[in-house]
């Protein structure tokens, strides 16, 4: 049989705990932050899907020049994470950040190994030609390590390109046959590998920061939910 005085002391102690919690953090006080978190959590999913879709639609011109598919995997993970907010985001964002870290370490080596292979497909694969032309004109570069990289490609060995040292997209001012050897001052001399590396690093960094920022919403939600669960147990 529990003594009456012990039971009364226990009830009094519980009342004091409830009073303290009402002052600092009550269920009612947490409802507004939880509603705000839910709204921002929904927005985070929209932001992930929108950012991923925008990257695929408008910032994906050079992915064909990569030997691996890490960039597309990262973007795909972002879209999948946004679409499956409640389930995937906790694991997906963490995985995306890890992939970013590996990607940043290996990107230059990957570009060095695959750029020449893609250059050999220039003129025979339309997607590769379009990507290289856009890359060289937009970033004012030419070839792999330098403009001279074109001299050892299959493109150079084609009969119609014997008198050309570089494709026309390497020219500062694009005109028919502007890539001839007698116009060396009209072509970009800097190679495109360094430009590509910088391009992908910038975009991966942006995607990584967005993922880390949105992942922080998950931590806030866990903390708020844990606090509410503990408070509900007392009421």
Q: What is the pLDDT of residue 74?
A: 66
Tokens 């409802």 belong to which residue?
A: 31
CB 18 within 8 A of CB 234: yes
Exposed, middle or buried: residue 185 (CB in 10 Å: 0-12, 13-18, 19+)? exposed
- Choose among 182, 102, 174: nearest CA to 138: 174
Instruction: For residue 21, give every residue at least 6 positions away whose Cβ sits within 8 Å of its Cβ, in sequence order, or none.
Output: 231, 234
Whole-number pLDDT of residue 24: 46
Phi-psi region of 180 (alpha: psi -120 to 50; beta: other; left: phi over 0): beta
pLDDT confidence of residue 29? 55
Q: 3-class SS at 200?
A: helix
pTM beyond 0.75: the answer is: no
Residues of the chain with pLDDT under 50: 1-2, 4, 6, 20-27, 86-100, 104, 232-235
pLDDT score, position 95: 41
Whole-angstrom Cα distance, residue 128 to residue 113? 16
Q: How far is Cα 156 from Cα 122, in angstroms, rounded to an integer?
A: 10
Asked if 102 and 137 count as a contact pair (C-beta separation under 8 A), the reply is no
Q: What is the structure's pLDDT at 185?
A: 79
> Count of residues for the chain?
235
For the segment 83-105, what is each residue's pLDDT rounded down to a tens digit? 665 444 444 444 444 444 555 45
In order of 62, 92, 130, 195, 203, the CA distances from 138 in angstroms are: 11, 33, 12, 10, 16
Residues 6+ apart with CB under 8 A from 45: 81, 82, 83, 85, 89
């Amino acid at each position: 049989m529990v003594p009456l005085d012990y039971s009364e002391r226990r009830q009094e102690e519980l009342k004091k705990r409830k009073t303290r919690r009402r002052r600092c953090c009550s269920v009612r006080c947490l409802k507004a932050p939880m509603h705000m978190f839910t709204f921002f959590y929904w927005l985070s999913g929209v932001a992930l899907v929108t950012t991923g879709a925008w990257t695929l639609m408008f910032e994906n011109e050079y992915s064909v020049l990569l030997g691996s598919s890490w960039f597309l995997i990262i973007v795909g993970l972002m879209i999948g994470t946004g679409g499956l907010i409640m389930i995937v985001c906790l694991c997906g964002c963490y995985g995306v950040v890890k992939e970013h870290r590996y990607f940043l370490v290996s990107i230059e080596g990957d570009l060095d190994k695959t750029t020449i292979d893609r250059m050999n497909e220039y003129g025979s694969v339309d997607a590769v030609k379009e990507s290289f032309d856009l890359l060289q004109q937009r970033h004012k570069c030419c070839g792999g390590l330098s403009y001279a990289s074109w001299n050892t490609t299959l493109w150079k060995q084609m009969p119609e390109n014997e008198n050309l040292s570089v494709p026309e997209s390497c020219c500062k001012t694009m005109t028919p046959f502007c890539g001839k050897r007698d116009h060396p001052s009209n072509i970009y001399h800097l190679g495109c590998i360094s430009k590509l590396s910088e391009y992908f690093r910038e975009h991966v960094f942006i995607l990584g920061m967005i993922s880390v920022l949105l992942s922080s919403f998950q931590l806030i939600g866990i903390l708020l939910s844990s606090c509410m669960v503990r408070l509900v147990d007392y009421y």
